Amino acid sequence: MRAVVQRVSEASVAVDGQVVGAIGGAGRPFGLCVLLSVGQDDGDADVTAMVDKVAGLRIFPDAGGRMNVDVVQTGGEVLLISQFTLHGDVRRGKRPAFITAMEPVEARRRVEQVAVGLRTAGLRVAEGVFAADMAVSLCNQGPVTILLDTKKVF
């Protein structure tokens, strides 16, 4: 699994002009916008690793201003959005190949497992719509953007 994790003050995702998921804003704590892609060989261990990493990622400021606090500790929220293009391979040519992305039916199940895992960790999770054409809006705080890969490719 691969993810782009951004620390945000607010974020939303819309489909056909209608907001389907939103976090933050109006005095609520910082949160995370997580763009998630599932690879062909990702299994239960990858789901567990991604949930643990996202929930425990210490990228929020402590009392001294150092990044030392995770989203659970802040009472923050997560906006989880499926984005298979994170598995796009452009090492050859300029058109991405998506042959390492998991097929949609199983990928949807894995994304749902991550959402359940994050909720089980005590987080409020808003979601996008799997396989929809989505418009994502966010206010990245810091800016802080972290790349995650359960296979430790990077």
| Residue 81: inside a domain | yes
| Residue 154: inside a domain | no
Among residues 6, 30, 60, 84, the one annotated as catalytic is 84
Considering the chain, what percentage of its residues have pLDDT values greater than 90? Answer: 94
Based on the residue annotation, tell me whether 83 is a catalytic residue of this protein: yes
Based on the residue annotation, tell me whether 85 is a catalytic residue of this protein: yes
Residue pair 38/101 in contact (Cβ under 8 Å)? The answer is: yes
CB atoms within 10 A of CB 98: 13
Express each pLDDT in 20-35 by its tens digit: 999 998 777 789 999 9
Bridge partner list, 57: none
What's the CA gap between 32 and 127, in Å, rounded?
Answer: 12
Mean predicted lDDT score pLDDT of the chain: 96
Among residues 85, 98, 120, 145, the one annotated as catalytic is 85
Q: Total domain count for the chain?
A: 1
pTM for this predicted structure? 0.96
For residue 118, give its domain range.
2-149
Residue 29 amino acid letter: P
Among residues 6, 30, 83, 150, the one annotated as catalytic is 83
Based on the residue annotation, tell me whether 60 is a catalytic residue of this protein: no
Residue 153: what pLDDT? Answer: 81
Domain CATH code at residue 52: 3.50.80.10
Handedness of CA 78, 79, 82, 88 (dihedral sign): negative
